[in-house]
Chain A
Amino acid sequence: MSQLKTGTKDQGAGAPGAAGAAPAVWTTLAEYEGRVEELRGREFKSDPRPAAPGLPPILGQAPAAAAPGGMDRRNFMKWSTAALALATAACSRKPVHYLVPYTNQPENLLPGVSEYYASTCRECAAGCGILVKTRDGRPIKVEGNPLHPLNRGTVCARGQGVFLNLYDPDRLPGPVRVQRGRAGSPIFNRKNSIHDLYDVQLGPLPGVPNTPPPGPVELAAGARLDWNEADQEIVAALRRAGKSGVLLTGTVHGPARTQLIADFCAFYGLRHVVYDAFNPDALTAGQAASYGKAEVPRYFFDRVEMLVTFGGDPLGAGISRQEYARGFGQQRKLRPAQGNDFIAASEAARQHGYAGQRMSRVVAFEPAMSQTGLNADTRYLLRPEQLLEAALGLAHQLVVIDKRSAYAGNGAVTAALAGFAPAAVETRLQLPAGTLAGLAAELWAHRGESLIFAGGPAAATATAAELEMVASFLNSALENEGATVDGTRSPSQQAQGSHQAMFALLDDMRAGRVGALLIHGTNPAYTLPANAGFEAALAKVPFVATFAERLDETGRLSDLVLTSLHGMESWGDAEPQQGLYSLIQPTILPLFDGRSFEDSLIALARAGGSKQFEMVVPTPPPPEPAPVVPGGATPPSGTTPAAGTTPPAGTTPAAGAAAPAPGAKPAAAPPPAPPKMQPMTFHDYLQAVWKKEIYGRYSLAGSWEDFWTGALRQGFFDPDPNRLQPGSARTYNPAALAAAAQAARRAPAPPADGELALALAASPMTGDGWCNNNGFLLETPDPVAKVCWDNFVSISPGTAKKLGLAHGDLVEIAVGEARLRAPIHLQPGVHPQVAALALGWGRTSVGAIGNGVGVNAFPLAQARAGQWIGAGARVRLVKAGSGYNLAEPQGNNYLHGRAIALQTTFAALAANPTAGNVPPPPDENIWHNGGPSDHSYPGHHWGMTIDLNACIGCNACIVACHAENNVPVVGREQVQVGREMSWIRIDRYYTGEFENPDVINEPMLCQQCANASCESVCPVIATITDAEGINVQVYNRCVGTRFCSNNCPYKVRRFNFYDYAGIQYQRGAPLELALNPDVTVRSRGVMEKCNFCLQRINDAHLKAQKLGVPIPDGGIQTACQQTCPTEAIYFGDMNDPKSRMMRARAPRGFEVLADMNNQPTITYLLKVRNVPERQA
């Protein structure tokens, strides 16, 4: 019946194209243009592989050569009889399992009981605090550390996906001799990559010189190295190099880690160079010119009432994006006039409406839609090189015309801004007249609580530093300096790399001034521009050694690759912001024959004769009844590999407390015998540095042991409460503004006809691409384009029409000598003269999953005069093919023109609390004629409230759900046919102007309906509403008819067409260790979907039962809710009106497809846009 209803809607007002009018809300171009037939086709896709030759038999499709059906009946009978015979003969009982207990049971460690350890995420250099959930000695889930001042309990998508990196079978098994790629390596390209399995050939596009995945090559005999041998070789090379050796690393912070690098460099006389692919060169240069000191300031997004970005993408690619997103989300919610309590504001709105409440305003000037632009109230499209002029125009309006700020009347400033009169700037940049005047007035009204944020690859033109100078000027003029920008008290240390330093190093290398190069934590061979000439420069270096977890592009060009450890296997520390000390502790023994980079440095220094890394043998602790014998235990299931499942005493996180204090004074024995010395591990070194630098410096009460245990338990040490406030304002140097204006007057000519300005962008999912062997991240769609398993050239639909290009065409782009070929994606919200392309894809040596996925756009950037130019280059898109099938999960479901995502404006909401929240017209339906359902929920009734205003589309929830619920990755082709498995997705809805639309992000997951459409059609009652209102899916009962999925109006049910989990996790050991043992791994032929993290609800029940108390509000956090940086998701008991979840359901709340009377338990709060009257 519901299907019938759908049909009628199609032909009515719901089908926009048919009526000729543009829809108010649309998701895809096809929908906007009303290509209904195409959309219907996408909704019910069939397997597009009629006869794929070479398809592995695991997928059950015979090659085309075989007879239809693959096997005739006679053969079938033969084989099945043989199989039966074998089965009866071989199997006397089900497989015998063994239970292997510890020989020495550690206290407080029980099989099947999770332990949590505080640590610091090392997936990027931001240094967010995490809690690692371990089970039977293996980490299985990461959650944010709620106490950590940086991220306050949230982790981004990359952090959530960490386990596919930790347990990656493609990691290097041990140190190898690579000999500059001559001997090659067999480690990658085994023939079981996910692409091979699904027969997706992503390899090099014909005729394109770049992105050739290296072929499978045999490891030369003797390529595996012995650690001693490797150490000796490196020491010899460093000795030969003398003072010309260089240590090249990515960003490193943390007192012990920096101190160690300094000690090591001092011992060998090395120079330390820091290089990251994404680095704040422009920002630090701008800061240095503006304030005299090169700093990466700290931004207080939680104090920003008005954010204006000039090309910057703090949410998608910010240096500390979790911190930014947390503050951003807090400010985007509707808050009371005083304080930030969103729940209180919601409750108040029930009675008094929204008048008098606050929310922040976001304005973005950008060349292409970034993740921040996705969340902006107002967006202006500019080419990358125009951003500077727009910023200067804004400054002119503010200071010269409006005569605001302390700089009004300042001669130097006025002179500098001459020629940037807003009217002229607006004409030149084709901005609506009055834009800058309006913006300046708003900003001035929010002075001291606004922020001008510039930078990022999309703004990295030749004048990127100048843009930062103007942004700094605006922040100073608007009194944000010292209020939302902190450059004095606790500036950020999360990004220290520099292209300038790297380019200088390359010059030295070319000139033969580098005798030996040690590389760790950065991948210059992959991330440097083509014209930087890294490979040629490296050839001039006599000796190169790389310390890496995997054999990356740089490793392939090295002499030796020494396996370093994953962040979860090693000790370490971090100091993301000055004065915030964070600890990294291992939660598992090394899975491969590796040694942490820090331990390698100590070993190398010792091998070279350093006596520094020795310590006094600690006095033996008082004899214990039984010495602790580590290891020897496997989880009792008998199915998990035994490798390193228990950290030994020395590395056991909790052992930090029990371990004897290193560096403790030797016992005061009368004879002054020379103390016995023993080599230090990095663990000892770390403790020694912390004891001296932190415990000593802050002269804390209590013993060192207590301090250390406490810091380990908490995960960080943040001694200065004032650090949470911004420091004092710095004084702006007007000469910087003059320099910036001078540079802006030399703006390049606009692109010629047919030319576009290239804007390279950081990909929110892959970052700089270092963890691209991670299926979770590759399959999670890009927040803006909603395309996965590829990067692509985004151009606006209008430009495409002009250039004669279509969605899925292949184009060739050339900048200088670098050329690549990539598919076209039509993206509304891109400047008509801009082509945007994401960086961080197209790895060639990362592992079987990530090799050759997408194209590497880093070579398209240019090294020019020590600067990295990622934006503004003029390119022509040369059509080189068509019909490339991008994997786009978003378009797989057709809206039928229904009102699914609602929105309103802030002004309208203040006048009317239910503005925009129009209930859909009542509709006939099969459910109780619109009445209540006949379920009763005497105990709990779980539900959710999701604030569309706070959802920034960052995808952290999606990856968290993958990790928590063992949701498999299926590969590009399966996504193309609509078989993606993610239980939660973020739907992106466009509204408004076609070429520059507004966006609503709507997380969509199972709505746990009371009147569930799925339940009524299941023939085996495999899906059923339980006593607490959850629509449970009973996997062992499911027979795979897929009726439920067909009948689900929200399209949130996922079907295992193949044994996806098996294919993904049995790719190689130890990948299976990443699975959550509390959640059944679904096999082929089973339907699955979100169940509100049932295992967490069960856990909470047991815990409450044990304590004899009710489950407290907030006692259960679903995985998506837990990691959401903006707290957009509230989960709680609908029977408890006092729960935060229920209190949040303000007048803004609506249920999706309420007219069907499915009675979903999820209420959405409609999207509110903070646009001033002049734009509303």
Chain B
Amino acid sequence: MNLRIVREQWRILLIVVILLVLAGWKFLSAFTNIGYSPEQPIPFSHRLHAGINHIPCQYCHAGVERASQSPIPGLNVCMGCHSVVDNQRPVIQEIAKAYNSNQPFHWVRVYHLPEFVKFRHSPHIDAGIACQTCHGPVESMDQIVETHQFAMGECIDCHRQQNFLPPAAERIHRDYQLSTFHGHPVNAPTDCNTCHS
């Protein structure tokens, strides 16, 4: 190795090394978003709604059992209650104003999946998987925090565990594509094309 380069260009080399370390750290951290909790346009509290008041998730996220994406409720859903409930609070009036002026909120997306992953909510809801299994204890969060990472290993792990069927029941359940066996989720496929199409 030509040490002359190291002697003469050590500053540049140092910068390069530092940058590489920084870049590597950033690169890795880009895939671990656990803890990501962006500020949302209004301080909507899941703790208050789902936790304290026990409103079921699907009251607002209605249709998730049919859709691939979980629908973010429209403002008419908010106004369904809040035209009466607490309608004098400033934040509620902000919603009412947005609703009346037809200006939807721009919620910040928390959970991302790459474009080549075609995740569908509906079969998971059908199989009786609780929302919290993937989204964490939402009912205790004021502001949504990302609790799961959704790397492929996590999906596959769960699909493998949920795929057991007693041999006697296998045929009928496979034929009829039933999603549960006595209340337990079954038939979680592990083919690549389940998610990548």
Contact = CB atoms under 8 A, between A and B. Distances in A.
B75 A103 contact: yes
A97 B33 CA distance: 14
Interface in B77-116: 77, 79, 98-99, 102-109, 112, 114-116
B19 interface: yes
Interface string A82-102: 001101100101101111111
B177 A1110 contact: yes
A94 B30 contact: yes
A923 interface: no
B192 interface: yes
A1105 B126 contact: yes
B22 A88 contact: yes
B87 to A, nearest CB: 15
Nearest to B38: A96
Nearest to B177: A1105
Contacts of B71: 101, 105, 110-111
B76 A103 contact: yes
B67 A111 contact: yes
B118 A1095 contact: yes
Contact of A105 (B20, B73, B107, B175): B73
B197 A1095 contact: yes
A1108 B71 CA distance: 24
A1035 B105 CA distance: 35
B137 interface: no
A103 B74 contact: yes
B144 to A, nearest CB: 11
Nearest to A89: B22
Given A94-B112, A1035-B116, A1094 B66 contact: no
A433 interface: no
Contact of B118 (A1027, A1080, A1091, A1108): A1080
Given A84-B20, A96-B109, A1078-B118, A1032 B191 contact: yes
B36 A93 contact: yes
B168 to A, nearest CB: 14
A1080 B197 contact: yes
Contacts of B178: 1105, 1108
Contact of A98 (B107, B189, B191, B194): B107
A1036 B66 CA distance: 27
B68 interface: yes
B160 to A, nearest CB: 14
Contact of B116 (A110, A1080, A1110): A1080
A81 interface: yes
A938 B170 CA distance: 10
A97 B26 CA distance: 19
Q: Which of A87, A91, A102, A1108 has the most CB of B within 10 A?
A: A102
Contacts of A629: 102
Contacts of A1: none
A244 B75 CA distance: 56
Contacts of B109: 96-99, 636, 638
Interface residues of A, number: 58
Interface string A1013-1057: 000000000001011101010111100000000000000000000
B23 A110 contact: no
A29 interface: no
B76 A1036 contact: no
Contacts of B77: 105
Given A87-B23, A113-B66, A1026-B191, A104 B75 contact: yes
B76 A100 contact: no
Contact of A81 (B16, B68, B191, B194): B16
Contacts of A1030: 193
Interface stretch (A227-235, A422-430, A790-798, A1096-1104): A1096-1104
A1037 B195 CA distance: 13
Given A101-B104, A939-B174, A1098 B194 contact: yes
Interface in B19-34: 19-20, 22-23, 26, 30, 33
B104 A103 contact: yes
B177 A1026 contact: no
Given A1024-B192, A1081-B115, A100 B74 contact: no
Contact of B30 (A93, A102, A104): A93
Contacts of B69: 111-112, 636
A1102 to B, nearest CB: 6
Nearest to B192: A1034
B60 to A, nearest CB: 10
B159 interface: no
A1111 interface: yes
B196 A1034 contact: yes
Q: Which of B79, B102, B104, B105 has the most CB of A within 10 A?
A: B104
Nearest to A633: B104
A1032 B116 CA distance: 14
B112 A97 contact: yes
A1102 B120 contact: yes
Contacts of B102: 103-104, 629, 631-632
Contacts of A633: 104
Contacts of A110: 63, 66-67, 71
A1036 B196 contact: yes
B147 interface: no
Contacts of A1036: 114, 116, 196
A617 to B, nearest CB: 23
A626 interface: yes
A1108 B174 CA distance: 11
B59 interface: no
A633 B66 CA distance: 20
Contacts of B79: 626
A1091 B103 contact: no
B104 A112 contact: no
B122 interface: yes
B26 A91 contact: yes
Nearest to B117: A1036
Nearest to B33: A93
A636 B109 CA distance: 9
B89 to A, nearest CB: 19
B71 to A, nearest CB: 6
B57 to A, nearest CB: 15
B123 interface: yes
Nearest to A108: B63
A85 B99 contact: no
A1106 interface: yes
B126 A1110 contact: no
A667 to B, nearest CB: 29
A147 interface: no
Contact of B68 (A84, A103, A112, A1032): A112
A102 B74 contact: yes
B99 A103 contact: yes
Contacts of B123: 1102, 1105
Contacts of A1108: 176-178
Given A81-B16, A99-B72, A1101 B177 contact: yes
A112 B79 CA distance: 24
A1109 interface: yes
A636 B102 CA distance: 17
B72 A636 contact: yes
B65 to A, nearest CB: 9
A98 B107 CA distance: 5
Contacts of A104: 74-76, 99, 102
B193 A112 contact: no
Closest 10 A/B residue pairs (Cβ):
A105-B74, A112-B68, A97-B109, A102-B74, A101-B72, A110-B67, A1026-B191, A98-B106, A1105-B177, A1094-B197
Given A103-B104, A1080-B115, 15 more contacts: A97-B108, A101-B73, A104-B75, A110-B63, A112-B68, A113-B63, A113-B68, A629-B102, A636-B69, A638-B109, A1032-B192, A1034-B192, A1080-B116, A1102-B123, A1105-B187
11 contacts: A87-B26, A96-B109, A99-B106, A102-B74, A103-B99, A110-B66, A632-B102, A1032-B192, A1036-B196, A1037-B192, A1108-B176
